[in-house]
Amino acid sequence: MGLWKVWSFTSRFNSSKRTNTILQHLTMSKHTDAAAEVLLERKGCAGVITLNRPKFLNALNLSMIQQIYPQLKKWEQDPETFLIIMKGAGEKAFCAGGDIRVISENTKTNPKMVQDFFREEYMLNNAIDSCLKPYIALIHGITMGGGVGLSVHGQFRVATEKSLFAMPETAIGLFPDVGGGYFLPRLQGKLGYFLALTGFRLKGRDVYTAGIATHFVDSEKLGMLEDDLLALNSPSKENIADVLETYHTKSKIDQDKSFILEEHMDKINSWFSANTVEEIIENLQQDGSSFALEQLKVINKMSPTSLKITLRQLMEGSSKTLPEVLTMEYRLSQACIAWSLILGKNCPDVLSFKWIRSSRSKMRESRYEPRRSNILREAMTFMKALGQF
């Protein structure tokens, strides 16, 4: 039998399975409100979590976290739930991150809500990492910040050609949290340090090649993959991995394309091995290549305080467990908020959400200024005094 006939037969067989699965959904899924910010559904053999704010790129807020966490724990103990799938509604984003607007608006007026957001978000990140059931994140579309926290700690992460990964926190006066201090320094070489400090964006298969995703699947096959997973009968972790691997192997999109940073990795490993931000900047200046100067230009636009905090965060996190890193990052997040409130306009680069504009052309033009080292030194001393470092 030719390969095409085998594929045709297999497709018809899978289609039949998917039809039965859909019928099963109609009788087994609990009622969900399509207008809800997050949908929690029992489908086939799985619990399915859908981030349902497509107009806001599925940005994560406290209410969503407080719905997801207990359901995740419930499914983890349910003998009839064999896997958990996390996905985003719409075609644009898995999750573009935490709802920065809400956090910004409540920093002064409702600080407890902001504390709760960070604490409960990090608790959810840890719950995903320690989940006893296979956890699959379908990171189709934009996956940044908080969205990374909902995916990267899971056992399986499936990227598509439309995936876009970034940790852009140094641009808004924060740091790459949600366990960034754990997974970033564990990427190949100094790639994680580079991604953290520059906010560089990885797209498509590069998300898989970098180690952010565990599998790569054509976006048009994502629905079929989900149906085949849901149709599994009391699957083991190995059964689930086999299905994912089958789809991954069949994907040919950009299969022979080199990693976007491949030709620069030796230099990235050298530049970002420095122990201080100043040394990294000096390395880039001395190199003088177009790529080095491009990264220098980017770093010069980032929050100086965030750059220093982030570098130290990753250095510390490289030898800590995830729970230890999340504890450190929670303390850091609260210290950043306190520091921004204490200094206010005297230190606008910490948690400066005003930098975010509706138009990219209006983004702020800050510069890394060594003459501000006294403020940076005070900030780091402040963090140390609160026990973050």
The answer to whether the CB of 372 falls within 8 A of the CB of 379 is: no
How would residue 137 be classed by pLDDT, with cut points 50, 70 and 90? Answer: very high
pLDDT of 96 reads 97
Q: Which residue has the higher pLDDT, 166 or 389?
A: 166
CA distance 337 to 332: 9
The answer to whether the CB of 127 falls within 8 A of the CB of 201 is: no
Q: Which residues are CB-neighbours of 267 under 8 A, at least 6 positions away?
A: 287, 289, 291, 292
How would residue 384 be classed by pLDDT, with cut points 50, 70 and 90? Answer: low
Helical H segments across the chain, by residue range = 3-28, 62-77, 100-109, 111-129, 146-149, 180-183, 191-198, 205-209, 222-230, 237-250, 265-271, 277-287, 290-299, 304-317, 322-343, 373-385
pLDDT at 318 over 60: yes
Active-site residue, from 99, 121, 129, 169: 169
User: Known catalytic residue: 177?
Assistant: yes
pLDDT of 351 reads 52
Nearest alpha-carbon partner for 368 in 171, 184, 104, 175 = 171
User: Known catalytic residue: 206?
Assistant: no
Active-site residue, from 47, 97, 98, 317: 98
Active-site residue, from 141, 146, 149, 179: 146
For the whole model, what pTM was predicted? 0.85
DSSP type of residue 51: E
User: Known catalytic residue: 211?
Assistant: no
Structure tokens, 286: 């001395």
pLDDT at 2 over 70: no
Q: Each residue of 322-352: pLDDT tens digit?
A: 999 999 999 999 888 877 666 554 444 555 4
Fold of the domain built from segment(s) 38-343? 2-enoyl-CoA Hydratase; Chain A, domain 1 (3.90.226)
User: Known catalytic residue: 266?
Assistant: no
Active-site residue, from 37, 99, 121, 177: 177
pLDDT of 16 reads 47
Vertex 341: Cα angle to 335 and 347 (nearest 5): 90
How would residue 109 be classed by pLDDT, with cut points 50, 70 and 90? Answer: confident
- Of 15-29, 99-113, 235-249, 347-361, which one has max mean pLDDT? 235-249
